[in-house]
């Protein structure tokens, strides 16, 4: 039948099966068994969302879980630098092979595919949406207990794509101790609720600075508001993180996995585990 038709060479739009002229390669089938997906979001930039993603991944990894990070902040990716991952990802017949951190966390980021890490990514929303779906479906994640999505700030294209197309267990939202930030976080929380996506926890970053000499906690941006914000938006767990110069130093050195968070994120991780357990029980 194919020989009776005029071939225009557009294999991707052709419906003829068994065409000997077809040159389009078959779509790879990635080796993927991702059990749970959690998004890390914020209503605005500059509150440390990528840091929280990195620390959560490191803590889950220490607890014995297999962890992956999909760097969904396509135009401003920072996850590879934070973990000290260099070079380009590779691919095989099945799909893209994610990079590995020193402790074995799997990382997929657009910066691992660029000729230079400082090359700008000037893509419009539909292109970014497409690349995120490819990272999810065509990456050889293999067995992953928790895949964390480091989201870009705001509630536009990427946020909506992830809420609608990714099978999320829920999201973790990140804020700073300012009323303006709390209000903007509320926008993300309310949008998630309107799309039937659970909000698992709130991390209030940069909540205080602890003096090395006297041990006193100084509230640089005002009193921490995490507990009140979590109550206002009915978020089941919250945690606070300090301003700590070690954060910046270890991120710059690509050694964020070495930071000892001293259990600060335990309430968030407990909530993630609880939701995952309920989901697994319902699937049995």
Residues 86-96 pLDDT 10s: 889 999 989 99
pLDDT at position 128 is: 85
Instruction: Name the CATH topology of 31-283.
Output: Rossmann fold (3.40.50)
* 155 pLDDT higher than 90: no
Which pLDDT tens digit goes with each residue over 210-261?
888 888 889 888 888 888 889 989 999 999 999 999 998 999 999 999 998 8
The residue ranking higher by pLDDT, 186 or 166, is: 166
Ordered by start, the domain boundaries in the chain are 31-283
What share of the chain has pLDDT > 70, as a percent? 90
Which H/E stretch holds residue 167? none
In this prediction, residues 63-87 reach a mean pLDDT of 92
Mean pLDDT of the chain: 86
- Determine the 3-state secondary structure of 72 from DSSP: coil
Distances (CA, A) of 180 to 117, 165, 184, 189, 261: 33, 30, 6, 14, 27
Q: What's the rounded Cα separation, in Å, for the pair 140 and 276?
A: 22
CA separation for the pair 224, 245 (Å, rounded): 19
Burial class (CB in 10 A: 0-12, 13-18, 19+), 12: exposed
pLDDT at 12 over 60: no
Measured CA to CA, the distance from residue 212 to residue 20 in angstroms comes to: 72
């Amino acid at each position: 039948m194919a020989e009776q038709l005029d071939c225009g060479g557009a294999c991707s739009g052709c419906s003829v099966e068994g065409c000997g002229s077809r040159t389009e390669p078959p779509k790879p089938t990635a080796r993927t068994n991702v059990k749970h997906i959690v998004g890390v979001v914020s209503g605005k930039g500059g509150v440390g969302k990528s840091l929280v993603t990195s620390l959560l991944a490191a803590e889950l990894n220490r607890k014995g879980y297999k962890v992956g990070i999909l760097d969904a902040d396509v135009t401003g990716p920072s996850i590879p630098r934070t973990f000290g991952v260099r070079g380009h990802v590779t691919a095989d017949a099945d799909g893209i092979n994610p990079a590995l951190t020193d402790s074995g966390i799997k990382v997929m980021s657009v910066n691992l595919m660029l000729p230079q890490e400082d090359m700008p990514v000037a893509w419009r929303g539909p292109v970014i949406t497409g690349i995120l779906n490819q990272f999810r479906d065509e990456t050889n994640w293999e067995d992953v207990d928790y895949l964390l999505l480091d989201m870009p700030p705001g509630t536009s294209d990427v946020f909506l794509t992830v809420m609608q197309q990714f099978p999320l267990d829920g999201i973790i939202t990140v804020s700073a101790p300012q009323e303006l930030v709390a209000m903007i976080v509320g926008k993300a929380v309310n949008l998630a609720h309107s799309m039937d996506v659970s909000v698992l926890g709130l991390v209030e970053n940069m909540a205080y600075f602890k003096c090395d000499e006297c041990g006193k906690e100084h509230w640089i941006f005002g009193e921490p508001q995490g507990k009140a914000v979590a109550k206002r938006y009915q978020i089941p767990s919250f945690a606070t993180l300090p301003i700590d110069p070690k954060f910046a130093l270890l991120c710059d050195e690509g050694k964020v996995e070495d930071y000892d968070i001293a259990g600060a994120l335990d309430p968030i991780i407990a909530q993630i585990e609880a939701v995952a357990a309920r989901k697994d029980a319902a699937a049995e």
